[in-house]
Chain A
Amino acid sequence: MPERVVTIVPEDGLHARPASKFVEAANEFDSTVKVGHVDGDQVNAASMLAVTGLGAAAGDEVRLTAEGEDAEAALDELERILTTPEDEL
């Protein structure tokens, strides 16, 4: 299963705005996408509650995994969101 480890850039971490963009994007792909701290549990990337519940801060490393036809495209887009400063999203 394709996976990627990404360091979070938005300075306040995965809070409302970046989290919202992240969840929105995860919902746009057919693949099932999961996200979690590198050494923690994986949660559903299409759930706002689950994603904000991670409490992921700037500088944290998270692991993204995707399963499905468009897995690589989904990972590309989600990685882009996690590595873009908040005011450019």
Chain B
Amino acid sequence: MTERRLSGIGVTPLSGVGSVVWYAPDADLEEPPEPETIDVDAETDRFERARDDAREEIRAERERTAERVGEAEAEVFDAHVQFLDDPQITEGVEAAIEDGLPAEHAVSRTFDRFVEQFEGMEGRMAERADDLRDVRDRLVRVLVGGDRVDLANLPEGSVVLAERLTPSDTAQLDPDRVAGFVTATGGRTSHAAIFARSLALPAIVGVGEGLHDVADGAEVVVDGTEGTLVVDPDAETREAAAGGEDVEIREEPVETADGTPIEVAANVGTQADLAPAADRGADGIGLFRTEFLFLDRQSPPDEEEQYEAYRDALERFPDGRVVVRTLDVGGDKPIEYLDLPEEENPFLGERGIRRSLGPDADLFETQLRALLRAAGDDAGGKLSVMLPLVSTVEEVREAREVLEAVAADLEAEGVDHVVPEFGVMIETPAAAFVAPDLVEHVEFFSIGTNDLAQYVMAAERGNSRVSDLGDFRQPAVLRAIRETVEGAEGTDVWVGMCGEMAGDPELTKLLVGLGLDELSMSAVTVPQVKRAVTETTVADARALAKRALAASTKAEVEAVLTETTQ
């Protein structure tokens, strides 16, 4: 059989091989009965009960998604509840029942009217049509008593093909079993695409009508880098996808072509990120955000719960390092029980270490206790503790005193513990400037490029009007990185980087040249960065960094970078 190729939009730089499982949610309805036979009150009751059940289901799915994928992705389900309870939907369905339709037909007709309206709109608004279909199909299924297709229990090595995948569908996919998915519709910013990136799943969207010609059970290769679906792949294509150059997973640590070891680690934001990080060959965790443990609940997690979470992470990386960042909240991240103040400029307000040494001192102490206990556990991995948003030497000194007090308490109580490696994030210009003074108090620095760029350039991260300024190719940002590395020169302090800049394989050479010892990024790009490290020599990298640092504009920096890749 000769292979066939279909193209769409690749949404993750990953490839997968498997057999096709067509997913077509069955929402077909039989012909409605004669209007005279409808009991309007009974049907209205059925609709209301179905709506209550659907609401419960959506809430449960929201929780599972927050846990497995992330809080931001889970918020789409809030919109689903609002569509479900929308006054226009309720009125429409009730009117249709009055007209003599059974509840499921009334639901279907009412939603379809709005689906059509949204389909005609542009850009992200058209995605609301997907949300409405999702809510409609759920309500109809509850009403006709149908079972949902169980996407969570597909055979291992399945590649899911569908016209479209709703957020509810995508949230069910188990990355341990599913080799990827391909949809006929959808774009780079669709929910399905966002979920695929969070779960590190090979995926292609927007293939078009031609997708329907691919048979159930067919062997396929999903090439998420090129956006190509290969049907009936020949041996060569299959091998290239399974272990090909593009996705070679290097389990072992890497070094440059001339022998300098560079640690390549992954950033994790939820427990669900741990497995993909290990699967992609990360040496360890360079940034373990702990906020997820604290969000969406009525009170903070206790010491035991935190200890378990940190130990889980260490067990995943028995030979590596796990850098845990202490709680980084502030005016911009709402946590009800912390009673955060309203601030004019939350990014310049009481956040990160400023809260841990102030109003959240108790939380900080509990977190350190859990961390020191986890560090003392024989899980194998090495635990490091990192402080967010440091800007002065006093902050680090004070935090260290708390750390030592906590260690003394544990010692007195006879509780097993170890005082871990202690470091700071370099994400304010102040921290970069005082780096030579900070080295006396820490074992490592980790440069947080997203916030560092925001503060160096005084350009807010989320504001698209100033995104050109907040770019890490700006000379001022590169020079702040140089200040940091130079501050640590001649000492035992190692310097890492966590942030988007570290995950761009085209910048790996520059970062090696700037003197970074460790790079940490989202799991997806770990293999590409590892490969880039092995293709770099330190001498070349230093020459490149020198030219980039001499540039006086962002355009010149970019020119230096492209010149050398050609």
Instruction: List chain A positions with a Cβ less than 8 A from chain B.
Output: 11-13, 15-17, 19-20, 23-24, 44, 46-50, 52-53, 55, 58, 85-88
Which one, A12, A13, A20, A49, contacts B78 given CB within 8 A? A20
Verify B83–A49 contact, CB threshold 8 A.
yes
Verify B79–A19 contact, CB threshold 8 A.
yes
| List of 7 A-B pairs having minimum Cβ-Cβ separation, nearest first | A85-B462, A48-B82, A87-B462, A20-B79, A15-B124, A16-B79, A11-B464
Main secondary structure of the interface of B (DSSP, over half): helix
Verify B118–A24 contact, CB threshold 8 A.
no
Q: Could you jot down 13 A-B contacts, CB within 8 Å?
A: A12-B124, A15-B125, A16-B75, A17-B72, A17-B75, A17-B76, A17-B79, A19-B79, A47-B87, A52-B125, A53-B117, A55-B121, A87-B462
- Minimum CB–CB distance for B226 against chain A, Å: 27
Verify B461–A48 contact, CB threshold 8 A.
no
Verify B124–A13 contact, CB threshold 8 A.
yes
Main secondary structure of the interface of A (DSSP, over half): helix
Verify B346–A88 contact, CB threshold 8 A.
yes
Verify A48–B462 contact, CB threshold 8 A.
no
User: Contacts of B462 on A, CB cut-off 8 Å?
Assistant: 85-88
Query: Given A85-B462, A88-B346, does the pair A16, B88 have CB atoms closer than 8 Å?
Result: no
Query: Given A17-B75, A88-B346, does the pair A49, B86 have CB atoms closer than 8 Å?
Result: yes
Q: Does B114 contact A (CB under 8 A)?
A: yes
Interface residues of B in 89-146 (CB under 8 A from A): 89, 114, 117-118, 121-125, 127-128, 131
Q: A43 — nearest CB in chain B belongs to which residue?
A: B88
Q: Does B298 contact A (CB under 8 A)?
A: no
Instruction: List chain B positions with a Cβ less than 8 A from chain A.
Output: 72, 75-76, 78-79, 82-83, 86-89, 114, 117-118, 121-125, 127-128, 131, 332, 346, 460-464
User: Contacts of A88 on B, CB cut-off 8 Å?
Assistant: 332, 346, 462
For B114, B122, B123, B462, the residue with the greatest tally of chain A CB atoms inside 10 Å of its CB is B462
Give Cα distance in the complex from A23 to B85, angstroms: 11
Give Cα distance in the complex from A16 to B78, angstroms: 9
User: Contacts of B76 on A, CB cut-off 8 Å?
Assistant: 16-17
- Minimum CB–CB distance for A84 against chain B, Å: 9
User: Contacts of A48 on B, CB cut-off 8 Å?
Assistant: 79, 82-83, 86
